[in-house]
Structure 1
């Protein structure tokens, strides 16, 4: 018997990285999974996003764990597409118990020099995409009188970061959205929380564009160069480590967590509020 037997989870950004780790962890705990990912590029994002093959590969991992999986190509920037994801999930599985609003992108730029498109893409994916995901599933959860919602924010929301003002603003907005929704739906047996990891070892960090931003004094920096830099600071968090926190929050034992912004940073957050 798994802790999530009979539950159905919708995971945005589920094709790889943290989303893939969460999908396999929840499946191992007994949940059926609806995977949502864009399967294509976003204009201002300087690294390849998850592909439809990535989505299929994660679905295969869920199936291998003995759970059912519905992979859906959809863009969180579209309310209509996210509403359609929820409708397909309910049609396929009859219910939605858990939402992990995990889809996100990263890019860089100084605030005074940032192109409008770079700002807009960031807000549209990392903040409005969370809103669309909430909007799609909450009415169903209210009707059923139970739900677990977790949104992926970032430690950068609390700290800010040079050349990441748009990212920090979007992720801080996620915290405000989470806390507000938590107040609105608590009476319906629904909890809403945010997780705020520091650097996680995913393609969002492990790509040449990010290496160049992190190591501007090295010509053509490599993954090995970047990993050496991260190891000097304690190392990157593994996606599965974030999944352990997610599992707590979405389980029955997570009922006392509501409106929380929980940081996982290996001590990096000690100097933040």
Structure 2
């Protein structure tokens, strides 16, 4: 028996990366899973986002674990689309017990070089759509008077990152939203927490702009990126998506039934490292 037998989990950004890893982990503990992803490109994002094929393959891999699974192509920037997938999930599965708000994008640029599109896309996906997801599931969670919401935030929700003011602002905002949501949902026995991942090895961190940032120079390579990443975490190296998933499963489970409003770093000790000046010149 799994710790999540009989539960239904809705996972946004679930076609690959952290979202898919979390979906696998939840399914292994017995939860049925509903995957949501955009499956199209956002123009301001410099790396490829998930595709419909990714989502189809993700659903097959989750279903192979012996649970019920559904997959939906949804743009989380649309409240009506989120409302529709919540309604369909409840109609099909009967409840929503776990909500993993995992979607996100990350782009780079000095704040004075960011276009309106750069700024607004990041804020809309990484902050506004967190609110939209919370709003969409609220009627069901408060009606059933139970549930656990886990938001994928970032260590950049509690620290700054040069070259990513829009991302940093969104993640700080997401943590403020999480805390307010925890207070508002608490009377209904619904918990809301956030995970603060460190540098996770996904498509979001595998593109030239990221290599240049970690490598410290234009034209840096994946090999440079891997070497530099050793200094980002006290425990060294890049973090694998499934190394985040244990914390998600814990927060989703009854073992965490009295935990709400918490920012949980899963960062290999990044936040306890001594600070440094990234631009000492």
Alignment of 1:153-192 (within 5 A): 153-192=153-192
Alignment RMSD = 1.3
Alignment of 1:51-130 (within 5 A): 51-130=51-130
Q: CA deviation at 1:187?
A: 1.3
Q: Structure 2 stretches of 5 or more lacking a match?
A: 275-281
Give the structure-1-normalised TM-score. Answer: 0.96
Offset from partner CA, 1:65-103 (integer Å, 9 cap, x none): 001110000011111111111011112111111100000
Match of 2:250 in 1: 248
Offset from partner CA, 1:147-197 (integer Å, 9 cap, x none): 100101000111111101110100011100110011011111100001111
Counterpart CA distance in 1 for 2:88 and 2:6 is 17
Please tell me whether the aligned partners of residues 22 and 243 of structure 1 are also in contact (alpha carbons under 8 angstroms).
Answer: yes
Please tell me whether the aligned partners of residues 152 and 196 of structure 1 are also in contact (alpha carbons under 8 angstroms).
Answer: yes
Offset from partner CA, 1:111-146 (integer Å, 9 cap, x none): 122111100000000001111111111110110010
Q: Could you tell me which of 262, 268, 271 is aligned with 1:269?
A: 271
Counterpart CA distance in 2 for 1:244 and 1:202 is 17
Match of 1:226 in 2: 225
Offset from partner CA, 1:183-219 (integer Å, 9 cap, x none): 0111111000011111111110012332233335353
Give the structure-2-normalised TM-score. Answer: 0.93
Residues 1:212 and 2:212 are matched in the alignment: yes
Match of 1:6 in 2: 6
Match of 1:235 in 2: 237
Please tell me whether the aligned partners of residues 79 and 132 of structure 1 are also in contact (alpha carbons under 8 angstroms).
Answer: yes
Please tell me whether the aligned partners of residues 157 and 168 of structure 1 are also in contact (alpha carbons under 8 angstroms).
Answer: yes
Match of 2:277 in 1: none
Q: Structure 1 stretches of 5 or more lacking a match?
A: none
Q: CA deviation at 1:109?
A: 1.2
Match of 2:140 in 1: 140
Please tell me whether the aligned partners of residues 47 and 209 of structure 1 are also in contact (alpha carbons under 8 angstroms).
Answer: no
Counterpart CA distance in 2 for 1:188 and 1:232 is 43
Work out the number of aligned pairs and report it. 271
Counterpart CA distance in 1 for 2:269 and 2:239 is 12
Match of 2:260 in 1: 258
